[in-house]
Amino acid sequence: MATHIVFSHGKESGPWGSKIKSMAEQVKGYGEIHSVDYRDLTSPDDRVARLIKHLKSLSGDIILIGSSMGGYVSTVASNKVNVAGLMLLAPAFYLDGYGIQEPITPCQHISITHGWDDDVVPCGNSIRFALKHKSKLNLVDDGHRLANSQDALNTALIALLTKVS
């Protein structure tokens, strides 16, 4: 059975932004890589519906990687489709305008990376989520886009994939 690595981009980015391209390059040998395009959808919950529809077409292990709004989308979707791993990058949790204010997941293998200097989503939101789920949490000296943390993101993704495979 195939492993599927599925990326979900943030609110103002696209399916093949620089973070996703770099991580996808790092994990080529681990499974089939997907990056869902949400640019035509502004609602986080409409994005969740699109991701769930995509995931239901797959068979095998699923690893979700979500950035910002994509972190919220991946987490909420993980309640409807069984996933082996969840990697969240500055996830947009506990924010106004999102349908689920207390996001939860049954996934046991969760890795979160968040910047101390995030001015969009406070890093305390990821700390709160990580405490509730006993997740691996990497706090880095960076902002919301995690533009200076690509090596840390690649390392965290490889560690997650190694753990779940």
Report the C-alpha gap between 118 and 99 in whole angstroms. 22
Crossing angle for the helix pair 44-56 and 69-77, to the nearest 10 degrees: 50
CATH number of the domain to which 59 belongs:
3.40.50.1820
DSSP secondary structure code for residue 24 in this structure:
H
Q: What is the mean pLDDT of each run of 10 residues along the chain (165 residues)?
A: 93 93 93 97 96 96 98 98 98 95 96 98 98 97 97 96 91
Contact yes or no for 97/121 (Cβ under 8 A): no
Q: What's residue 165's pLDDT?
A: 81
pLDDT in tens, 33-46: 999 999 999 999 99
Closest alpha carbon to 114 in 86, 83, 145, 84: 145
Q: What's residue 103's pLDDT?
A: 94
Q: What's residue 149's pLDDT?
A: 97
Domain count of the fold of the chain = 1
Domain hosting 14: range is 3-164
Q: What's residue 88's pLDDT?
A: 98
Q: What's residue 119's pLDDT?
A: 97
Report the C-alpha gap between 99 and 79 in whole angstroms. 14
